[in-house]
Structures are given as structure tokens and as C-alpha cells.
Amino acid sequence: METLRPRRSCLAVPGSSLKMLGKAPGLPADQVFLDLEDSVAPDAKESARANIVAALNGGGWGEKTRVVRVNDLTTQWTYRDVVSVVEGAGANLDAVMLPKVADAEQVHWLDLTLTQIEKTMGYEVGRIGIEAQIENPQGLINVNHIAFASDRIQTIVFGPADFMASINMPSLVVGGLNPDYPADPYHYILMQILMAARARGVQAIDGPYLQIRDVDGFRAVARRSQALGFDGKWVLHPGQIDAANEIYAPKQDDYDHAELILDAYDHYTTVEKLGAVMLGEEMIDEASRKMALVIAAKGRAAGLRRTSKFEPPAR
Ligand code: GLV
Ligand code: MG
């Protein structure tokens, strides 16, 4: 698992909304992404670029990961989005999100463009990351190549609304289940994205839930991708942030249990020279250690503190 900061809650902030741009730094999201794409009307794209540059350079973002979503490469806006924002605020930007990525070539284009701007501006080359958003069948069938297309890739992000539209899924509720289909219609897509992200060692992020006042609905959808192993989810409204931060962090009991396994395994393998042992009622071995590491790493990154301690048995 990669070591970047967790992105349990990724707050979408329309670049055309000065109100949201002003409010976002004070909200407890792990990541913000300042949007130039679908939440910004065509006539407002240019002024949104300037708003975003000012907001990034204005600071106050604390530990948040700062991302800008540019327009996709089928539009005329992408190159100016990248040039304006990265030249204007590259020193205060952690990653660029490319929506509707269709193939690895598009990632190569962004990688090269970022390198050129970094060299021109005297920024550290390669520091600014890329988030690749998968929103159509082309992107999904190429997701493994996309994940490996650049060292800058930091996350693979699911874009469910565009994805549903692109495959003619007959529903208007993003993430919703369909009583006519006895399973989760998103399972296949989520798993493909997760496999690509894990093979590449980067984060897998679930997309938005549009019924912003329905926090229970948000929780239900978030729990499904969290159960698979996703690292976080978009939040469109401050009311969804706490739910995402809670759901994508391990529960306290699981975190304590994971740390206990790590300590116990370390004790038994090094002190007692045993590879598979009983910890209470459960057998632990090297694979248990690996599973525990995943949960412990997420818990530590989320700032959880242990509430129990491993006591080696008296000999
Ligand atoms: C997000 O961009 C989506 O299409 O769901
Ligand atoms: Mg989209």
C-alpha cells in the first residue's frame, strides 16, 4: 500500500463558486478537488481557472491534499486548464485529476505537459501527481494500462454518474441498487478499478453520491466500496464528510485487533521462533500479518490510537 496521505473524504468544490472555495479550507475533508469540469458552466470556465489559482495560493488548506480537476481531453479546455492552474499555482497543488480518461496516451499527455510546466516554472519535476478518473467503458477496459502510465499516478477514481450514462444503465440514482438485479450492479466496475489501483500500489477512490441530504444513502453506498477495499469517496456536501471519514477508517476494535496481531506475530516469530501460532481463539501466520498491516496502516493514517496492548504469555 502506498504511503501518501489518506483520502477518505474527497470534497468537490466548483471552481466557479467563490463561496465554496472560501469555505472549503475550513472543512475536515482529507482532500479537496477544485473543479473546472462538470460543475462549472462553459462560460464560467475561464473565470473559474482564476478563482482556483487565487484559492490555492491563498493557502489555509492545512494537511489537505489539494487537487484540481481539469476538463477531459475531448474538450477544447484541457490544455489551458492545466497551463493556467499549474503555472499560476503549481507550488500549491498536489495533483491534477483527469476525468473520463480513455487510455494511457491521455495520461502520457498530462505527464509530459506537467513536466514542461514544472521545468519552465522551476518547480520540482514530477512532484505534482495525477488522479485518473474512470468514467466510461474505454477507460475501464484500459484501466490497467492507465494505472501504470505514469509515475505520477496517485489514485484511480470511479466516476459513477458518467459511467452509468456511458453504458446506458437505466437508473438516475448514482450508486443505487436495482430491485430487478439481485446483486450490486457496480461490483464489476469497482473491482476492476480496485485491482488496477492495488497492482500499481495507489489509492482507489469511489465517486459521488448525488442525494446530498440522504446521509444514510451515502453511508450505504460508501460501505459497499469500503468493504471491497476502497480508500475513500467523493463528498459533495459538508454533511457527507464525517460519514466518509468514519467509514473509510477502520473501526476502533478492528484497529486494536490488527495492532495486536502485529505485536503478537512479531513476538512469536522473533522471540519464540514460531511461524504459526494461536492468538486467543485464532490462528495467525504471515498472511494474518499482511492483513493486519493493511488495517493498522489505515488506522494509523486516520489518527486512531490503540486502546489495548499485547502481553506476551508468562513462560
Ligand atoms: C463524477 O464525475 C461522475 O461522473 O460520477
Ligand atoms: Mg463525471
Query: Which residue of 72, 162, 205 sits with most ligand 1 atoms within 8 Å of its CB, as the best mutation to test the pocket?
Result: 162
Q: How far away, in angstroms, is 165 Cα from ligand 1 center?
A: 10
Q: What is the pLDDT of residue 1?
A: 41
Q: Give nearest CA residue, ligand 1 atom 1.
A: 159
Q: Are 30 and 10 in contact (CB under 8 A)?
A: yes
Share of the chain above pLDDT 90, in %: 88
The string of pLDDT tens digits covering residues 63-80 is 999 999 999 999 999 999
DSSP, collapsed to helix, strand or coil, labels residue 52 as helix
Quick one: average pLDDT of 107-119?
98
The string of pLDDT tens digits covering residues 8-56 is 999 999 999 999 999 999 999 999 999 999 999 999 999 999 999 999 9
The string of pLDDT tens digits covering residues 125-163 is 999 999 999 999 999 999 999 999 999 999 999 999 999
- Assign residue 94 a region: left if phi > 0, alpha if psi is -120 to 50, beta otherwise? alpha
- Return the axis-axis angle of helices 215-228 and 187-200, rounded to nearest 10°: 50
Confidence of residue 4 (pLDDT cuts 50, 70, 90): low
Q: What is the pLDDT of residue 272?
A: 83
Task: Tally helices (H) and strands (E) across the chain.
Answer: 12, 10
Domains and CATH numbers, the chain: 9-247 (3.20.20.60), 252-301 (no CATH)
pLDDT at 2 > cutoff 70 = no
Q: What is the pLDDT of residue 170?
A: 87
Quick one: average pLDDT of 258-264?
95
Atom of ligand 1 nearest to the CA of 37: 2
Q: What is the pLDDT of residue 117?
A: 98
Atom of ligand 1 nearest to the CA of 135: 4
**Cα(201)–Cα(195) distance, integer angstroms:** 10
Ligand that comes closest to the CA of residue 12? 1
Q: Give nearest CA residue, ligand 1 atom 3.
A: 159
Q: What is the pLDDT of residue 119?
A: 98
Ligand that comes closest to the CA of residue 160? 1
**Cα(283)–Cα(277) distance, integer angstroms:** 6
Q: How far away, in angstroms, is 53 Cα from ligand 2 center?
A: 22
The cell numbers describing 104, all together, are 494511457
205, 308, 178, 302: which is closest to 251 by C-alpha? 302
Query: Which residue of 11, 38, 67 sits with most ligand 1 atoms within 8 Å of its CB, as the best mutation to test the pocket?
Result: 38
Atom of ligand 1 nearest to the CA of 174: 5
Quick one: average pLDDT of 248-263?
95
Please, what sign has the CA dihedral across residues 37, 40, 41, 47? Answer: negative
Atom of ligand 1 nearest to the CA of 133: 2
CA distances from 237 to 96, 134, 160 (A): 21, 22, 17
Q: What is the pLDDT of residue 78?
A: 98
Nearest-5° Cα angle at 52, 95 to 44: 120
Q: Following CA atoms 255, 261, 264, 270 in sequence, which dihedral angle do they give, to the nearest 10 degrees?
A: -120
Q: Are 106 and 97 in contact (CB under 8 A)?
A: no
Q: How far away, in angstroms, is 34 Cα from ligand 2 center?
A: 14
pLDDT at 172 > cutoff 60 = yes
Q: How far away, in angstroms, is 302 Cα from ligand 1 center?
A: 26
- Give residue ranges with CB within 6 A of ligand 1: 99, 135, 159-162, 207-208
Query: Which residue of 36, 98, 133 sits with most ligand 1 atoms within 8 Å of its CB, as the best mutation to test the pocket?
Result: 133
